[in-house]
Amino acid sequence: MESEFEISLNMKTSRGMETYACFKLGNDKKFAFTLFASLHGEDAILRDSIITIDLIKRENGLLFPLSLQHCSYEQLSENVKIVTRELFKKLNLEG
């Protein structure tokens, strides 16, 4: 079975980190890593990090975290724009 990649958006709650959104990126590893590398944020996750963005590989029903970034609300807003724009271009040029 081929690997699928996704970007998940997570926030700290009283119950711990919770995923509240997910962007399905498909099975193109290069696209997934390039897109994630273009996002705004910090690699260092601190105790007071509220929002994280994860790059995930899904294989045979299992999730494998590949990379993680902490971001601010402003960076999150910009990141959602970037992911949406790049997915739009990829989906409309593939076919």
Give tens-digit pLDDT for 22-78: 999 999 999 999 999 999 999 887 778 899 999 999 999 899 999 999 999 999 999
pLDDT for res 52: 94
Terminal-residue alpha carbon distance, the chain = 23
What's the pTM? 0.90
The domain ranges of the chain are 4-93
Q: What is the mean pLDDT of residues 80-87?
A: 96
Q: What is the largest CA-CA distance in the chain?
A: 44
Please give the DSSP secondary-structure letter assigned to residue 13.
E
pLDDT for res 44: 81
CA 50 to chain centre: 15
In angstroms, the CA 23 to CA 49 distance is 21
Given pLDDT bands bounded at 50, 70 and 90, which one contains residue 95? Answer: low
pLDDT for res 48: 80
